Amino acid sequence: MDRIDSVRGLQARADAERAAGRRIALVPTMGALHAGHVSLVKAARQRADRVWLSIFVNPTQFDDPRDLAVYPRTLEADLVACRDAGVDVLFTPTAAEMYPEGSDTIVEVDALSRPLCGASRPGHFRGVTTVVAKLLAAAKPHVAVFGEKDFQQLAVIRRMARDLLLDVEIVGAPIVREPDGLALSSRNRNLDPEARRQAVCLVRALDAVEVAVAGGERRAESLLDLARREIARAPRARIDYADLRHPVTLAPAPERLDGPALLALGVFLGPAREGEGAPVRLIDNRLLHAQPGGGRSS
């Protein structure tokens, strides 16, 4: 595995690979790698001759400085994980490399960035799309792979690539979960044992709503009430959002579901006592398949 720190160096490597007729897949990450990231590498390997992974904790997508400060950084362990996963090139730029002095250009996808995470994290997706655009310009990949746990992020990046006519395929890979159902996330390691136990309220809520839809429930508000009640069973959980959205446009789902709908959840898990640390923000989602015409009417 080769490690490259400079944009120029990565671009030169990309030019050489492309000239040799080899396909490049990029897996952008912020490090603190886990089995979910390894699954992205495997998905990338199925689509390309060379798999590149980037590790860059992007400061412009953090709306809360405390969140940036505590975001886990485990570079030495990440190097081992990348080698074991068969990554060909690891790109580890500095903030100064990605944002040269005087940088004044941003990339923003407007409508898709507003709801869900965007409603409570102003500027977050502007930071995401700006850095992903830079990573795509640096790596020149044929395909880039992102996890479906960050469903809104995936939708935003797909729209950005389409709107800017970027010659890259954006691929979503399925969520990888821990044995109790909690979606794998780098932030999970910031949970204390009790918060970790309560974090499964997310998957309990997703499961309960999916069962209700399978049983014929189609009323959006009833389904959301069910999700909120499940989350409320975790005393240290505070809901950021619980919403039903169109899986492509992220527009609000109709009052009665009549087709596929995305159930998206965002929750803060607080510390044992106030002031002992910052809450840990977790997200999860489930695509619901509600067939039109069925369901309860009251």
Instruction: Decide: 283 and 182 in contact? Cβ < 8 Å.
Output: no
Active site residue 124: no
The pair of structure tokens assigned to 222 is 């009833």
The closest alpha carbon to 238, from 211, 269, 271, belongs to 269
Spot the catalytic one: 34, 37, 124, 142.
37
- Write out the catalytic residue numbers: 37
